[in-house]
Amino acid sequence: MRFMVTLAGIFIGLQAVHAQTVLFDFEEGAQNWGSFGAITTDKGWIDGSVGSGRFHSADFSVTDTGNFGIVDISPAGVDLSSYSGLSVDARFGDVPGFESFVGLKELDIIVATGDDSNEEEFFAPKQTMTDVYQTFSVPFSQFTSAVDQQPPTTAELASIRIKLVVLNANGTGLARFDYDGVTGLAPALEDPDFDNDNDVDGADFLIWQRNFGIGAAQPQGDANGSGNVDAADLAIWKAKFGTAGATAVAAAVPEPAAGILAFSGIALLVRRRRAGN
């Protein structure tokens, strides 16, 4: 019995490795934290991309140069250090019965440390929204500090506030920003086997070398899923040189269905042996 319980625990653990985590789904109750800025003139329940979402609206016809529409979608002190990035569902559309919005529909996803004068903001690349929900997924390696242009460290991600920002100086008309489904992205599997031949060797180094600074995908030398081929990928290649690639390692781990069959088979074998005794 103890053997069977151990196998079940391993199987559940294998499933959990691939899980994503919904951080905020806005299904129930108030946000319970402050929002401020030019676009926070309205808020309330809407149909979200999954379940219920939230919305904020603003009149972009009113000149407000330099002012930002800021929505804090989390309280301060959220620990994101175990995640590789954030995913947000959002859309940006017109408000029925009012002047249509004309202008850029750009979203800034931000994580911030500290507070007030000690605050440091890390900006993801700007995301272009439409009036239909889209999922915007950005690894933390692509966030850059407004102070020194560096991504957040693991220590900084351990106490963070999540923000969504729309610049209120880029158009005219009344617009509404809807958001939903804020998800923490699981860490990407490090894979320096760029030629997918089930080993990490010199051929993989040559692929990294040819694409350094210009590549953006794993077959081009991106070992950590950052969207860039850089020195961090070389460090991963060095650490795993001479080992099996991630594809080979994954092949050695049974798929969930295969795991169930194997577990059932072992359990049946144990029962037969006990019956024989």
Given a contact cutoff of 8 angstroms between Cβ atoms, the answer to whether 100 and 182 are in contact is: no
The alpha carbon dihedral of 17, 20, 21, 23 has a sign of positive
Across the chain, how many H-helices and E-strands are there? 6, 15
68: confidence class by pLDDT, cuts 50, 70, 90: low
Which pLDDT score, from 0 to 100, does residue 262 have? Answer: 46
Closest CA to 19 of 256, 222, 263, 227: 256
CA 186 – CA 203 distance, rounded (Å): 29
Percent of the chain surpassing pLDDT 90: 30
* Structural domains for the chain: 2-14+189-276 (1.10.1330.10), 20-185 (2.60.120.430)
Which tokens go with 56? Answer: 């904020």
Residue-wise pLDDT for 129-158, tens only, equals 999 999 999 999 899 999 999 999 889 999
Threshold 0.85, pTM exceeds? no
